[in-house]
Structure 1
Amino acid sequence: MSGEDFTRVPPQDLDAEQAVLGAMLLSKDAILEAIEIVTSADFYRPAHATVFDTVCSMAVRGEPCDPITVGGQLDQDGNLARVGGASYLHDLVQAVPTAANAEYYAERVRDLALLRGVIEAGTRAVASGFAADGDPQEIAERAVADMQAARDRGLADRDAPPVDLVDFLAQADDEPDWVIPGVLARWDRLMVTAGEGGGKSLMLRQILMRAAAGLHPFKRARIRPVKVLLVDVENSADQARPWLRRMAAAAAEEGAPIPAGRVTVEIPDRGLDLTNPADRSWLARRVERVKPDLIAIGPLYKLALGNPNEEETARGLMSALEMLRTVSGGAALLIEAHSPHAAPGVKRRDLRPIGSSLWLRWPEFGFGLSPANGMGAEELRLMDWLPWRGSRSVRDWPAQFYEGATWPWTPVEQAGTAPIPAGTLTEEQAVAAGLIPAQSEQPEFWDDRQIG
């Protein structure tokens, strides 16, 4: 090994260290995230370790942590000048693009600290080997122990004990933290696809607006109203406003008017590229301010300027969307995406989202709207609600939707049970065609019960 190997600068990222501390000085949530990931020993710069310890100590005592209060504590401890003075604390705040990314910055600091630990352990092992100081077996065992210590960094004592299957199965299942009872829980991701003009935008807006009004999206039932955010990067304000106005009026007709402060609409004039740090930070600030329970955003292909088929673009966009869930405190996410054109000779188009195959595994739920077959289906604009990925949890989804009158879409509990609008088929014709069952067999889907 050359002398150069011992004089290289160890792996470190002072920008990431500053970002961690800056986020902690901006957000209580960032403090909680950081202390779960890093310790003061993980910081390469000693001054940063001192600031980290001070913030953690103040947070444990329940004291506010900002550049003024932390600066006062550092001054009291005689460490303010040592860390760069009060101005440096303000520099830390300016160095962080958004406090929402504190977890990412902390993981970066932790990973580089691990690499430094590995280098230190390896250096000691090399030195011991050359010195032949002691029994070779003991030297090898010390080297292994040093490497394990570098890997664990004292975290092994904080690990939860292994759980036996018997104990695991004896634990009660937690009730989901519902945003929409039986449909979407906090942190859930639902991606909806369809072709151009397939109605997916209206579907997401309908779910959003009914949830804000305290109405179940698929049943005539009341739920707890939630705060929602619509981020529409495809339609102009003039295009979106009439539909939202109609939906607000429809909610009011059902006795559930939507009050001010319940729905926030963001329609960026210049588009949105969530792989761009400036756009990502802008949207993070909006979400942090609104704190919605439910977010609808899309379409997917207009959220990034890169090639949607490339994994690098997809991973950057996924990271940005995950950030939205984090800064909102776990909002359920509705994502609109386009599906490919139907192949020649194929009647039903592929409903999977256009872009990298990573999207097929990412959401908890993936459904597509596809025109149904059968007599009268076209007149009804009857659409099948088809999964293009296996759901990770059992939820109460309709089987079909048809074009509604008051709301854009009316759900159908079982395939082939749609009511027939006036001016299309008679009920006898619809029964004969197998589009709906006989009256005595029709299921009761709409109801007036309270949910949640």
Structure 2
Amino acid sequence: MIGVDEQREAELREAADAVLGTLLHTEAKDLAPDLISALTPEQFPEPRQGELWDLLSSMWAAARPCDPITVTRELRERGDLERLAGPAGAAWLHQLHDAVPTVAHSLAYAEVLREEAQWKALALAGARTMTAVQRREGSALAAAEASVEAFRSVRDQQHVRQDDLPVDLVDFLEEADDEPDWVIPGVLARWDRLMITAGEGGGKSLMLRQILMRAAAGLHPWKKARIAPVRVLHIDAENAADQARPWLRRMAKAAADEGAPIDRDRFMLRMIPEGLDVTQASDRAWLARMVEHARPDLISIGSLYKLTTNGESDEKAARPIMAALEMMRTVSGGAAMLLEAHAPHATMGKRDLRPIGSSLWLRWPEYGFGLAPAKGEGAEELRLMDWVPWRGPRSERVWPEQFCQGATWPWQAIQYRGNAPIPGPTLTVEEAEAAGLIPDQSFWDDQQIGT
């Protein structure tokens, strides 16, 4: 009786022969691109089969004839005929060709090989974990993190795809643009990163919480519009619970008053005022658990300087923080991310709104804005703030020009400078309020975004 292992090996050999034989058929031209994209050389049971697969794939990609005769000639010229085709040489290639009853089933055979390769990768990841356990190398948490990453890489394994030929510009421009996978329509799509900076007490924490709370409630951050509610995870590594709770309670009530109460399991948060050290395996593992539990569409974390305890802010210190943040996005499956960072102190009366630390932060997020006090008579009474971009946007989004202090929510957006005139010699604050020129509780209502 044939054992289970022997039967599996026989099935794998048949599947490998079938996909190799398929590429030796000229009628496989319609299937070849998908078949080549489905497998890598490493996923074959034997190295020689993987090498032959690489050759056949290259010949198809180069639009060269690929049949037993042309492949035999190519292998003979390379001096690899017997090494890859075995003692039978050309005869074996003809056998592969003739043993394929129909090329239509080739993708199913490829799936057999791919599935087995993933099982082997899973077994290897488990074996490495057990080796680390037995040898007690490093810390247990570091070994656990490495194990989780190894298993995750098996789960998310990407397959090599055949390079496409260049596309003509005329055809390219005729293609419709893909609609972003919105988290907040017009503002943030999945995988987007927005970093908000300001000086100490500049209101960035309140801005960040307002975006989170309104998104979780199904409200646009600064428009009088409904959106589909999103799941939110808020990691506050700077403020204590007693500092944040009054504002969060006030915002939750404001959302409920607008007919959009925040449902349970919609907004998850942890306050860690002592900060984190994401250069350590234990804190990275903790973050991964938080993300896996919350399953968020939108993540906020910060401030940046509280994500490590070494006190350094150079490029060497920035890279492990970026790696930890990327890990969070990957574990979440592409949640949009809000980041909070401090801006340097003003020099010569002017404040640089770029984030403190490595210049890498200037390029890392897709969108970077700072809150800066606006100039002009009456600006202080309104707490008027300019919304200043310090990083060129990668895609078009709809942002306000200014914010001022709101009555119900912390910040009221102003669509463009001059939308709410600053009181001056010809217009007092009282006159502006009476004329309805100073925004209070209202939000933009120029666009209604449906759920």
| Smaller-chain TM-score bracket | 0.5 to 0.7
2:91 is aligned to none
Q: Is the 8 A contact 2:385 2:404 kept in 1?
A: yes
Within 5 A, what are the aligned runs for 1:156-195? 158-195=162-199
Q: Is the 8 A contact 2:420 2:438 kept in 1?
A: no
1:235 is aligned to 239
Q: What code does the residue aligned with 2:271 have? A: I
2:345 is aligned to 341
- For residues 163 and 100 of structure 1, do their structure 2 counterparts lie closer, same or farther at Cα, with a shift above 3 Å needed? farther
What CA distance in whole angstroms lies between the structure 2 residues aligned with 1:259 and 1:349?
40
Q: Is the 8 A contact 1:340 1:351 kept in 2?
A: yes
What CA distance in whole angstroms lies between the structure 2 residues aligned with 1:219 and 1:37?
49
Q: Is the 8 A contact 2:235 2:271 kept in 1?
A: yes
2:268 is aligned to 264
Q: Is the 8 A contact 1:190 1:333 kept in 2?
A: yes
Q: Is the 8 A contact 1:247 1:407 kept in 2?
A: yes
Partner of residue 355 from structure 2, selected from 331, 342, 353: 353
1:320 is aligned to 324
1:413 is aligned to 415
1:39 is aligned to 42
What CA distance in whole angstroms lies between the structure 2 residues aligned with 1:66 and 1:265?
38
2:379 is aligned to 377
Q: Secondary structure at the match of 1:39?
A: helix
Q: Is the 8 A contact 2:43 2:114 kept in 1?
A: no
Q: What code does the residue aligned with 1:449 have? A: Q
- For residues 444 and 188 of structure 1, do their structure 2 counterparts lie closer, same or farther at Cα, with a shift above 3 Å needed? closer
CA drift at 1:66? 11
Instruction: Count residues in correspondence.
Output: 338
- For residues 93 and 221 of structure 1, do their structure 2 counterparts lie closer, same or farther at Cα, with a shift above 3 Å needed? farther
Whether 2:442 is the aligned partner of 1:394: answer: no
CA drift at 1:166? 3.1
- For residues 354 and 259 of structure 1, do their structure 2 counterparts lie closer, same or farther at Cα, with a shift above 3 Å needed? same
CA drift at 1:170? 2.6
What CA distance in whole angstroms lies between the structure 2 residues aligned with 1:158 and 1:169?
23
Q: Is the 8 A contact 2:238 2:272 kept in 1?
A: no
Cα deviation digits, residues 371-419 of structure 1 (max 9, x gap): 0011110011110101011111111101111111211111111113237
CA drift at 1:231? 0.4
What CA distance in whole angstroms lies between the structure 2 residues aligned with 1:335 and 1:205?
11
CA drift at 1:357? 0.5
User: What runs of 5+ residues in structure 1 fail to find an aligned partner?
Assistant: 1-34, 45-55, 72-82, 111-153
Q: Secondary structure at the match of 1:176?
A: coil
Within 5 A, what are the aligned runs for 1:45-444? 57=112, 60=115, 88=127, 91=130, 95-97=143-145, 101-102=149-150, 158-268=162-272, 270-344=274-348, 346=349, 348-418=350-420, 428-429=427-428
CA drift at 1:449? 2.7
Q: Is the 8 A contact 2:275 2:308 kept in 1?
A: no
TM-score (norm 2): 0.65
What CA distance in whole angstroms lies between the structure 2 residues aligned with 1:444 and 1:406?
11
User: What runs of 5+ residues in structure 2 fail to find an aligned partner?
Assistant: 1-37, 48-110, 134-142
1:445 is aligned to 444
- For residues 401 and 99 of structure 1, do their structure 2 counterparts lie closer, same or farther at Cα, with a shift above 3 Å needed? farther
- For residues 269 and 196 of structure 1, do their structure 2 counterparts lie closer, same or farther at Cα, with a shift above 3 Å needed? closer
Q: Is the 8 A contact 1:375 1:430 kept in 2?
A: no
Q: Is the 8 A contact 1:222 1:448 kept in 2?
A: no
Q: Secondary structure at the match of 2:178?
A: coil
CA drift at 1:328? 0.5
Q: Is the 8 A contact 1:178 1:186 kept in 2?
A: yes
Q: Is the 8 A contact 2:196 2:371 kept in 1?
A: yes
Q: Is the 8 A contact 2:222 2:412 kept in 1?
A: yes
Q: What code does the residue aligned with 1:340 have? A: P
What CA distance in whole angstroms lies between the structure 2 residues aligned with 1:262 and 1:210?
11
- For residues 237 and 428 of structure 1, do their structure 2 counterparts lie closer, same or farther at Cα, with a shift above 3 Å needed? same
- For residues 300 and 255 of structure 1, do their structure 2 counterparts lie closer, same or farther at Cα, with a shift above 3 Å needed? same
Q: Is the 8 A contact 2:227 2:450 kept in 1?
A: yes
